[in-house]
Amino acid sequence: MESQSNLRPYAVWDRTTRWFHWINVICVPGLAVIGLAILYNKPFGVSDEGKILLKTIHVWIGYVFLANLAWRLVWGFLGGPYARWRRLLPGGAGYGDAVRAYLKGIGSSDGPRYLGHNPVGRIAVTALLALLVVQAATGLVLAGTDIFYPPFGAQIASWIAAPGVDPASLVPYDKTLVDEAAYEAMRDFRSPFKTVHYWTFWLLCVGIAVHVLAVVMTEIREGGALISAMFTGRKHLDREPVDAPPKSPER
């Protein structure tokens, strides 16, 4: 790693991007822990009332997570230069050459420096965002089918309520007021969403672990203050990054 005296600060992550990151750092582990408690409720001895409480908390954290994710997707069109989709999504002119050059330099400290995401990191971050979108979408469906929460809960309750029963009176895990055939059809409808939600969770666990490991390894190999940059918005690099903004012409 280069001497601190050779490092130069560069502004990179805007405030919204940093807030998105740290809200995710809070929400995702919280959702994971509660999700695992729901998944393994029998070994933990969780009652039906306990499962409803856990699912309610899970859904409310999920709403915060979803709002944060939705705003980040919009921010890809409105945000600072390194938050925008053209600097995040893989592809574009010269992208293949950039990937090869970056991979070639991984074994040494002399490889190219990037102010935003490096070419390989763009693939990883895009994959993580895609998994987060899938998890959020399937979670909304499960929230409706499990405990009748918005945005689909009212429609689900209307679907399974027995004739003459007010759908708003349905209680999770209480089958006395539901139409049995409609309830079974709803469970069949719910099943693939549950499966996707389950496997996406484990893929996210792997992806997040790889992301953290890659950040630590890049920090050690290249410097750049990647971790602190998510607090300060500034990276510190030992040379001009290849994706630095063009310099203003001298007058």
How confident is the model at residue 111, as a pLDDT? 78
Whether 3 shows a pLDDT value over 80: the answer reads no
- pLDDT higher at 44 or 13: 13
Three-class HEC string of 64-103:
HHHHHHHHHHHHHHHCCCCCCHHHCCCCCCCHHHHHHHHH
Whether 190 shows a pLDDT value over 60: the answer reads yes
pLDDT-wise least confident of 12-26, 209-223, 226-240: 209-223
Residue ranges of alpha helices (H) inside the chain are 15-39, 41-44, 48-78, 95-104, 119-147, 153-160, 180-222, 226-232
CA distance 65 to 67: 6
How confident is the model at residue 248, as a pLDDT? 45
First-to-last alpha carbon distance for the chain, in angstroms, is 36
Task: Give 193-226 pLDDT, tens digit per residue.
Answer: 999 999 999 999 999 999 999 888 878 776 667 7
- pLDDT higher at 59 or 102: 59
Task: Provide the token pair at 37.
Answer: 């408690």
Task: Give 102-154 pLDDT, tens digit per residue.
Answer: 888 877 667 788 899 999 999 999 999 999 999 999 999 999 999 999 999 99
How confident is the model at residue 249, as a pLDDT? 45
CA distance 138 to 141: 5
Whether 4 shows a pLDDT value over 80: the answer reads no
Model confidence at 171, in pLDDT bands (50, 70, 90)? very high
CA distance 100 to 104: 6
Name the CATH superfamily housing domain 14-237: Transmembrane di-heme cytochromes, Chain C (1.20.950.20)
- Mean pLDDT for 51-80 is 97
How confident is the model at residue 225, as a pLDDT? 74
- Mean pLDDT for 19-34 is 96
From residue 14, alpha-carbon distances to 37, 78, 234 in Å are 35, 11, 9
Q: Which of 150, 159, 146 is nearest to 185 (CA)?
A: 159
Share of the chain above pLDDT 70, in %: 93
pTM of the model: 0.91
